């Protein structure tokens, strides 16, 4: 009798272990798929935001030209307008809780790095970014956009 009870207990334990292993394996794989989709969308969003912003015309000129003239010539149109446009497009796309930072760094010449927006965005991990290059009189400026949830 005791022997039968022990065998039954072992069989039940084995069945439970098999089910738990199946359960954990299926959880692990489905989590990965969701993460890939989220990352893909975030990359697309950030890339589109940077390129669309730079291609936008305003009464002060195109954003890409305003950024270059601010960096190289000291004009302030870019600083005056970028905040309102970024806020407007983030709101329009339902992302009111995003913080952003734009950085302009010299790529092939010596110069300073200028930033606009919230400088704390890159202080902790968990932000995502997009990059592009702007040319001005033979010099290249690397423009980076960083975004994170607040």
Partner 1 sequence: MKGQTAIMEYMIFVFMAMVIIFFVVALIFGYQILQGSSRKYSAVEENTMFALHKMMTTPLISTPEYQKSAVLEDAKLTVLTCEDVEQLFGEGLWVQVKAFYEKPDCTGIQNLPQRLACQQVRNDIEQTESRECTGSGQNDYPDCGTWTFCPENRKERMVYRSLPVNIYRKMDNTVMLGSLTVGVSGGAS
Residues in contact with partner 1 by the rule CB under 8 A? 1, 4-5, 8-9, 12, 15-16, 19-20, 22-23, 26-27, 30, 33-34, 37, 40-41, 44-45, 48-49, 51-59, 62, 81, 84-85, 88-89, 92-95
Q: Which is nearer to partner 1, 31 or 125 (CB)?
A: 31
Least distance CB 108 / partner 1 (angstroms): 20
Checking phi first, is residue 74 left (phi over 0); if not, alpha (psi -120 to 50) or beta?
left
CA 107/CA 16 separation, integer angstroms: 59
Least distance CB 9 / partner 1 (angstroms): 8
Q: Which is nearer to partner 1, 48 or 113 (CB)?
A: 48
Q: Give the residue from 109, 39, 99 showing the smallest Cα distance to 71.
A: 109
Q: Which is nearer to partner 1, 37 or 112 (CB)?
A: 37
Q: Which element (helix H / strand E) includes 83? A: helix 77-92
Show the CA angle centred on residue 68, arms to residues 76 and 106, nearest 5°: 120
């Amino acid at each position: 009798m005791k022997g039968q009870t022990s065998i039954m207990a072992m069989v039940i334990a084995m069945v439970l272990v098999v089910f738990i292993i199946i359960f954990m394996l299926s959880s692990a794989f489905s989590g990965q798929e969701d993460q890939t989709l989220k990352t893909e969308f975030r990359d697309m969003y950030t890339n589109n935001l940077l390129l669309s912003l730079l291609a936008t015309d305003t009464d002060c000129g195109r954003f890409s030209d305003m950024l270059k003239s601010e960096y190289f010539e000291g004009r302030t149109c870019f600083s005056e307008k970028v905040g309102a446009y970024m806020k407007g497009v983030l709101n329009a796309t339902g992302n009111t809780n995003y913080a952003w930072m734009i950085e302009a760094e010299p790529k092939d010449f010596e110069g300073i790095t200028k930033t606009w927006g919230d400088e704390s965005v890159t202080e902790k991990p968990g932000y995502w970014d997009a990059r592009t290059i702007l040319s001005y009189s033979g010099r290249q400026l690397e423009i980076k956009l960083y975004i994170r949830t607040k």
